[in-house]
Amino acid sequence: MSEEKKNNGPSENAEGLHEEVEEEVVNPTKNSVSRRQFLNYTLTGVGGFMGAAMVAPMLGFAVDPLLQAESGGDFISVMSVDDITETPQKKEFQVDQKDGWYETKVTRVAWIFRSGEDEILALSPVCTHLGCTVGWDSNPEYENEFFCPCHNGRYDEKGVNIPGTPPTAPLPAYETRVQDGTLFLSPRAQARGGA
C-alpha cells in the first residue's frame, strides 16, 4: 500500500496532468489564424464597409446628372400657332418640377408673340433687375414696351432692356418649337445677351 501511495504521489500526478495538457494544446498549423490576424481582418472589413457606406451616396450624387434624361424632351404644349399675334399675349402653363422626392406642378408664365413672319418669341415676365413681374403695355407713359413697376424697368417690344433703366439684361426667353401647328415651350427660360 505504501508503494501505491508512492506511485500516486504529487509528482506523478503532476506529470500526468502535464501530459494531458500537452495533448489538449492545439499545435499551430499553416491554416490557423492568430488572434492578431483575426482582429486585423475584422477591423479591415468593418473599415472597408464603413468607407463604402460613406462613398456610395457621394458617387450616386455625382453620377445622377449623367443618368438623367436631357431636358430636350420636356417641352410643354402651350397654344395653337394660329392664335399667336404680333401683340404679346400672356400665357400660363404647367410644368412638372421634381425636388428631391417631391414632384409638383408649377405654373409658369410667358409673353408669347410673333416677331417678324417666322420668329416666335416667348419671354419670361421676370425682370432681370430684381425679379419683379413685368407687364406688356402696362404704363401709359411707355406704350408698346414691357414695364416693371418695381423700379421703372423698361424693355422694348422684343424684351431687350432699354439703356438707362435698372435692368441690365434682356428678359429671359423660353426655347420654342412648333410641331403640328402647336407651340411648345421649354420648361425654363434662359438668359439672353443684349444691351
- Same-domain check for residues 96 and 20: no
Size of the chain, expressed as the number of residues it contains: 195
- Same-domain check for residues 79 and 141: yes
The pLDDT, as a whole number, for residue 144 is 87
- Same-domain check for residues 79 and 115: yes
- For the chain, the domain total comes to 2
* Structural contact between residues 64 and 56, judged by C-beta atoms closer than 8 angstroms: no
Cα–Cα distances in Å, from 166 out to 125, 136, 147, 160, 189? 15, 17, 11, 12, 20
The pLDDT, as a whole number, for residue 9 is 53
Helices and strands in the chain: count of H runs, count of E runs: 3, 9
Residue 91 lies in a domain: yes
CA dist., res. 152 & res. 79, Å (int): 31
- List average pLDDT for each run of 10 residues in the chain, which is 195 residues long: 51 56 55 87 94 89 66 74 88 84 87 84 88 85 87 88 89 89 87 70
* Structural contact between residues 113 and 150, judged by C-beta atoms closer than 8 angstroms: no
Output the domain CATH number for residue 106. Answer: 2.102.10.10
- Same-domain check for residues 123 and 153: yes
CA dist., res. 86 & res. 125, Å (int): 17
Cα–Cα distances in Å, from 57 out to 50, 61, 67, 177, 187? 12, 6, 15, 37, 28
Range of the domain at 94: 75-190
Domain termination residue (choose one: 45, 67, 89): 67
Residue 110 lies in a domain: yes
- Same-domain check for residues 124 and 176: yes
- Same-domain check for residues 95 and 53: no
Residue 195 lies in a domain: no
The pLDDT, as a whole number, for residue 50 is 95
**What's the grid cell of residue 65?**
446628372
- Same-domain check for residues 62 and 103: no
